[in-house]
Amino acid sequence: MTARAGTPERRAPDSAGGGQERLVPGRLGPGDVLRVGAAGLRARPTRVILSALGIAIGIATMIAVIGISSSSREQLLRELDRLGTNLLTVTPGQTMFGDEAKLPTGALAMVQRIRPVRTAAATGVVEATVRRNNHIPDSITGGISVQAASTGLLTTLEGAVVKGTWLNEATARQPAVVLGSAAARRLGLARTGVQVWMGGRWFTVVGILGPMPLAPEIERSALVGFPAAQDLLGFDGFPTTVYERSSDATVEEVRQALPRTVNPENPDEVTVSRPSDALAAKAAAAGAFTNLLLGLGAVALLVGGVGVANTMVISVLERRREIGLRRSLGATRGQVRLQFLSESLLLSALGGVVGAVLGALATTAYALSRDWPPVVPPWALGGAIAATLVIGTVAGIYPAMRAARLSPTVALATA
């Protein structure tokens, strides 16, 4: 039969003592332990809230860090799935003397001859600047480059025109320009039909592109057709980047074939890269940064644990009369230890649950504000609760042992 806290010890016959009775301490069931621990916390609600707040801040920080990092990584992975990993870029490397090499003028046509290649396009850097009008000094470029672009560029990059139209065979020969998203923003343009000053003459904006995560250099560019760049801007006709797409199964095969196809005489002067690798590296780098922030959250959690330990020590000092009374009524040292340890665990668990909820809400709010999928890994929630229980146990051991060592007579006399 389970005894309540503070009930006197029962007497049982001593089988070795010939009918004599021995004292048997009452037992505390799990429900009794929870009630006794909760009663101690309810007596001091303000102190409990402040102590639990330290644990909650630490847990919320850790959950939010893990959740935001996971949400960012999930967004990058989804973006990779949407954009594909089968885009390769060909750029000039360096000659054996360390000078910058050039791609042949027929590089695009040679890439298109590779059997697995589905689509390809090229761009070339033009020595010109683009400005809102002819009154702005040439030195102020706004970080916008002028590039010649083949008409198949938009298809190859799987980009989108948000305003106007893309270059075609006709406009590629005229003073017409398509602006990348960043270029349009820096020029202060949000519509087509206006003119910008490029290479000493006016060009009409016929289109504005949307974001291109796999080709950020296009976002910062003003794009004109190859014929117009050669006729109107003095472009030499040498491409600086060739983009190509093939099936996922043939990406590595094409990657190996591109250097010797583009420049058979000097394949070492050709650099081939995969833009999607940058997004994958960004996802990996997010994990490294997360470890640093997790360390800060762990420090906050440690400070919260110290606060719980301090609260429990003060509670023992203030409740010596209660401890002495319980001991005099039959509570054992183990039961007193269990009472204060359960209080510490309940206090930490309260802070852990509140912190987990706050961390999950912070993750969801931040992710939705960035149009990311909110992701809070279940292992993070479980680990957070487990961490609070460990903190509660460690923080409560010393106060519980101190309370158990108090002598009933001394506790009642000094209270």
pLDDT for 320 equals 74
Mean predicted lDDT score pLDDT of the chain: 82
Q: Which amino acid is at 172?
A: A
Best CA proximity match to 239, nearest among 109, 44, 72: 109
Most confident of 44-53, 114-123, 289-298, 341-350: 114-123
DSSP state of 352: H
| Per-residue model confidence (pLDDT) at position 40 | 63
Q: Residue count of the chain, please give it.
A: 415
pLDDT over 90, % of the chain: 36
Tokens at 274, concatenated = 């995969």
Write down the pLDDT at residue 307: 79
DSSP letter string, 280-304: HHHHHHHHHHHHHHHHHHHHHHHHH
Lowest mean pLDDT among 68-82, 234-248, 262-276: 68-82
How buried is residue 96: exposed, middle or buried, by Cβ count under 10 Å (0-12/13-18/19+)? exposed
pTM: 0.61
Residue matched to tokens 């002028």: 146
227: left (phi over 0), alpha (psi -120 to 50) or beta: alpha
Of the two residues 357 and 53, the one the predictor is more confident about is 357
Lowest mean pLDDT among 175-179, 330-334, 351-355: 330-334
| Structure confidence at residue 411 as a pLDDT band (50, 70, 90) | low
The CA distance from 242 to 235, in Å, is: 16
244 versus 20: the higher-pLDDT residue is 244
Q: 11-25, 64-78, 157-171, 378-392: which has the highest mean pLDDT?
A: 157-171
Q: Is the pLDDT of residue 209 over 80?
A: yes
Measured in degrees and rounded to the nearest 5, phi and psi for residue 7 equal: -75, 145
Q: Which 8-state DSSP code applies to residue 192?
A: S
Q: Is the pLDDT of residue 311 over 50?
A: yes
Q: Are 362 and 60 in contact (CB under 8 A)?
A: yes
- Of the listed ranges 15-29, 79-93, 309-323, the one predicted with least confidence: 15-29
- Give the tens place of pLDDT for each residue, 113-123: 998 999 999 99
**Tens-digit pLDDT profile for residues 369-401:** 988 899 888 888 888 888 888 888 888 888 778
pLDDT score at 183: 95
Contact status, residue 146 vs residue 199, Cβ threshold 8 Å: yes
Q: Which pLDDT belongs to residue 32?
A: 59
Q: Which stretches of 54-107 are assigned E, i.e. beta strand?
A: 87-92
Residue 314, pLDDT above cutoff 90: no
Give the pLDDT score at 5: 44
- Taking each helix axis from N to C end, the angle separating 276-318 and 45-83, rounded to the nearest 10 degrees, works out to 170
**What is the predicted pLDDT for the residue at 25?**
56
What pLDDT does 349 receive? Answer: 86
User: What is the per-residue pLDDT for 7?
Assistant: 46
Share of the chain above pLDDT 70, in %: 82
Look at residue 31 in the predicted model and tell me its pLDDT.
Answer: 63
